Every structure is written in C-alpha cells, then in structure tokens.
Amino acid sequence: MDELEGAAPLRVLLAEDSESIAVLLEFFLSRSGLRVDVVGDGAAACERFAQDVYDVVVLDMRMPVLDGYGAAQKIRAIEAARGPSRVPIIALTANLGAEEARRSMDSGCTAHLGKPFAKEDLLAMIRQSARPSAAPAPASGVPAAETVRVDPEIADLVRDFMGRLRREAAALHEALGRGDYADAAERAHKLTGASGSFGFPKASEFARGLERAARKGDGPAALDLLRQLDAYLDGLRLSDG
C-alpha cells in the first residue's frame, strides 16, 4: 500500500475492453492502494460514473458500444448537471500523435497515455492528476475564492483578459496533452508577464512555474501547476472600485 496512512484511497473508474489488460491494471492499481471499478465499454463507464463519485477516470479510447471520446463527452455532460466539479480523465491511446491528443482533449480528457505503457507510469499519472482535487486545498495554498478590485475605467479590459486567461489555460491543457512542451512553455511565458500587468500576481506565479516545468519536459509538474491555475481562475471574482 503506497497511499498515505489514514488517507482515503483514490477512487478510480477504469474503462478497458481488453479483459486481460483490465485484470492486470485492476490488480496493480488495487495493490498500490487505489479503489478501482472496472467496466468494459464507454456506455458502462458513463452509467457507473452517473451512479458514483470518482477521483479519476481512465478511458481506453477504442472500445465497443461507446468509445472513449464519446464517453468523455457524456461524462462531462453528467458533471455539468451535477455542478462545477471536474474529474480528471486520462485517455489511453495507441497513437500519441498531435491529432489524437487534440481529439481526446476536445472530448473532455485532461491527459493521455500512449500504449504500450508501464503500469507505474499510469499510477503516477493517476496520482498526479488527482492531487489538486483530492487535497483539501491546492498545494500552493491558493484560496477557494479570491476577489480582485479593479479600476472601473479598465474593468472591461480586465474582464476581457480573464477570458483570455481561460482560453490560454485550455490551450495549455491541449499542448501538455500532446506533449508539446515548447508550445506550453511559450504560452506560459507570455501569460507570466501579461497576468502581472493586469494585476493577477498569483496567475503570473503559476504561469512562471509552469514555464519552468515545461522547459524541463516535466509534464506531471506542469500539469499540476496548470490545475492550480484552473482552480485559481474558478475562484476568482472581480470587484469594481
């Protein structure tokens, strides 16, 4: 058992149509301290997700009945009906190309892992993906909500920039998902200066750390910082005056 003593084990929903692979992964992940529910297709994954709460969902992209892309989209729709929470979805794909990565991210996945993969890599990705949502607060201590006062004369400009921040965060997810660390580093670099200029020093801090991680090729660290940026933006509010 690798999980911290006394901590609730991470709950993982695994959708994999290969019975032998599913059995192997369930054994390995369970032995590593995770609670794993296994289903054999995307439709069953959506049904199970609607009935329970999970920390991470792992979807094989090529499955019968409903593939991983369709399952990810339905899971996001189920979440939209529930509330603002967003579970990490890891895509398992035989193709690590940019187009495959883009398609999985567009479907709602937050990370992807190419087959064949080491079981240890999947375990590390699950834990890294679940860390921000599983912890009571982000690692950096970002508050659940923050109000930033804005000069009324530039309020529209600041709101427009907030929209840009969210779009850039989505683009960063896509870049990291396809393993394009150069693009991620360049985007994060631009956000670092712009966020500070518009009065969002914490966003600038996350972007600066993300840039460093991306330039080192440290995908898990970059993704962790990006999720913290997501959480910060979700709790950010503007106040005129």
Domain boundaries, the chain: 11-134, 146-240
d(CA 80, CA 162): 21
What CATH code would you report for 11-134? 3.40.50.2300
- For residue 64, the one-letter residue type is P
d(CA 220, CA 226): 10
Let me know if the fold of 11-134 is the same as that of 146-240: no
- Adjacent-strand bridge partners of 15: 39, 59
146-240 fold: Four Helix Bundle (Hemerythrin (Met), subunit A) (1.20.120)
pLDDT tens string for the chain (241 positions)?
444 444 578 999 999 998 888 999 999 999 999 999 999 999 999 999 999 999 999 999 999 999 999 999 999 999 888 766 788 999 998 766 667 777 887 888 888 787 777 888 899 889 888 864 433 334 444 444 567 776 777 777 878 888 888 899 999 988 888 888 899 999 998 888 788 777 788 888 889 899 988 888 888 888 888 988 888 888 877 776 5
pLDDT, residue 137, reads 39
Number of C-beta neighbours around residue 230 at 10 A: 20
On the CB side of 189, how many CA atoms lie within 13 Å of its CA?
A: 9
pTM, two decimal places: 0.56
d(CA 15, CA 42): 7
What is the token pair recorded at 48? 């199970």
Q: Is the Cα dihedral 234, 236, 239, 241 positive or negative? A: negative
d(CA 178, CA 112): 8
Peptide bond just before 152 cis, omega within 30 deg: no
